[in-house]
């Protein structure tokens, strides 16, 4: 009995018909240059509106992950996006840029240990990156500012502080944002809830962050208890820092 090749050929034809189109349904990467130009031209809102459709079509695009990080205004959420990029796509052309942005974020919120960790990762994994020199310049400027501040405190005449502020040693850093409007929005929520808060601007490596602090405490234990309350109430990831 002769084998039925017609059925076999038909099966192969159907298989090819199914597999070939599906291989092109989700292109591997996206050229984000046009979108970066739109952002530079002040059309960030338009690019944000395009993001959901782009994410559906370019599911495996490392460049799109980087673009999403740029468009994310909450510092902690942007960090998570950049981290996913460098962890999943370490060979992406935007990987060293993402690590540098993580470094500047942690520097801005005074998490020096984590900032140093990512700076070392940048130097180790991307030794030819131009961002290493830029990061070194940021570190130098930060150290210089700290040294000047320390020297000023030694040489400047003592100014009598308000008794009410003198006892405060700790506060809670509630968030850091690239848009001041978002920082002010969180501050307004704290104000409505009866919590004292303030927004301070910090520039690191050309990136400006608007950092929100809430509460003033004399002991670290009080500050930690308060941070647990607001983290639960406002769905945040705040932490205790020294009051300045």
Q: Which residues are 241's β-sheet partners?
A: 171
List the Cα angle 179/147/117 in 5-degree steps.
Answer: 60
Domains, in order of start, for the chain: 26-71 (no CATH), 75-145 (1.25.40.10), 166-242 (3.30.70.1070)
172 phi and psi, to 5 degrees? -115, 125
Task: With beta carbons less than 8 A apart as the criterion, state whether 228 and 216 touch.
Answer: no
Residue 231's region, left for phi above 0, alpha for psi from -120 to 50, else beta, is: alpha
Q: What is the pLDDT of residues 165-177, one digit of tens each?
A: 458 889 999 988 8
- d(Cα 16, Cα 125) in Å, to the nearest integer? 40
Give the range among 7-11, 13-17, 69-73, 232-236 with minimum mean pLDDT. 13-17
Split at pLDDT 50, 70, 90, the class of 147 is very low
* Structure tokens given for 179: 């848009």
Residue 2: per-residue pLDDT = 53
The pLDDT tens digits of the residues spanning 23-36 come to 444 457 889 989 98
CB 223 within 8 Å of CB 170 = yes
pLDDT band, very low/low/confident/very high, at 184 (cuts 50, 70, 90)? very high
Give the percent of the chain with pLDDT over 90. Answer: 34
pLDDT of residue 126 exceeding 80: yes
Enumerate the H helices of 24-130 as residue ranges: 33-40, 44-57, 62-71, 75-88, 95-108, 112-125
CA distances from 88 to 27, 91, 96, 168 (A): 17, 9, 13, 43
Name, in order, each residue with C-beta under 8 angstroms of 137's C-beta and a sequence gap of 6 or more: 205
């Amino acid at each position: 009995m002769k084998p039925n090749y017609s059925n076999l050929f038909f099966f192969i034809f159907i298989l090819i018909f199914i597999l070939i189109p599906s291989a092109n349904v989700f292109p591997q990467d996206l050229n984000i240059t046009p979108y970066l130009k739109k952002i530079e031209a002040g059309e960030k809102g338009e690019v944000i509106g395009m993001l959901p459709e782009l994410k559906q079509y370019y599911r495996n695009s490392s460049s799109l992950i980087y673009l999403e990080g740029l468009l994310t205004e909450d510092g902690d959420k942007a960090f998570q996006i950049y981290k996913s990029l460098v962890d999943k796509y370490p060979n992406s052309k935007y990987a060293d840029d993402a690590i540098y942005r993580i470094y500047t974020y942690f520097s801005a919120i005074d998490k020096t240990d984590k900032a140093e960790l990512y700076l070392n990762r940048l130097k180790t994994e991307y030794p030819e990156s131009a961002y290493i020199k830029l990061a070194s310049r940021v570190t130098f400027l930060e150290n210089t500012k700290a040294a000047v501040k320390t020297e000023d405190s030694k040489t400047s005449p003592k100014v009598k502080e308000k008794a009410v502020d003198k006892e405060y040693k700790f506060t809670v850093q509630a968030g850091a944002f690239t848009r001041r409007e978002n920082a002010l929005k969180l501050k307004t929520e704290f104000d409505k809830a009866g919590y004292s808060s303030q927004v301070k601007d910090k520039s690191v490596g050309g990136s400006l962050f608007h950092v929100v602090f809430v509460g003033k405490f004399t002991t670290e234990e009080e500050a930690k208890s308060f941070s647990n309350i607001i983290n639960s109430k406002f769905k945040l990831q705040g932490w205790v820092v020294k009051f300045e």
